[in-house]
Amino acid sequence: AQSVTQPDIHITVSEGASLELRCNYSYGATPYLFWYVQSPGQGLQLLLKYFSGDTLVQGIKGFEAEFKRSQSSFNLRKPSVHWSDAAEYFCAVGARGNKLVFGAGTILRVKS
């Protein structure tokens, strides 16, 4: 069965510092991978997706992610974090039947 692991429940970074959020997945075939962000009291917004092709994908708000098949990882990165990036981030893998399997999420705190 498909599964997604986000090892870090909370991460705190200083404003202007770089960010990397980890995501590992388990899926038998070529995965469809997503990163979503959720601000408090809001729904989920798609940051970026990987379906095929270039393993480094660019998303909105200056985020990027790299697909590494050998490590079953799809880590999210941003070179310089802004206070408005504080939110919860979810990695997800697209499973059969157009379903999404989500990780437990990583809460990002940004300190000034």
Residues near another protein (CB under 8 A) are 32, 34, 36, 41-46, 49, 51, 90, 94, 96-100, 102-105
- The residue (of 51 and 83) whose beta carbon lies closer to another protein is 51
In the complex, the smallest distance separating the C-beta of residue 32 from another protein, rounded to whole angstroms, is 5
Are 103 and 27 in contact by the 8 Å Cβ rule? The answer is: no
In the complex, the smallest distance separating the C-beta of residue 46 from another protein, rounded to whole angstroms, is 6
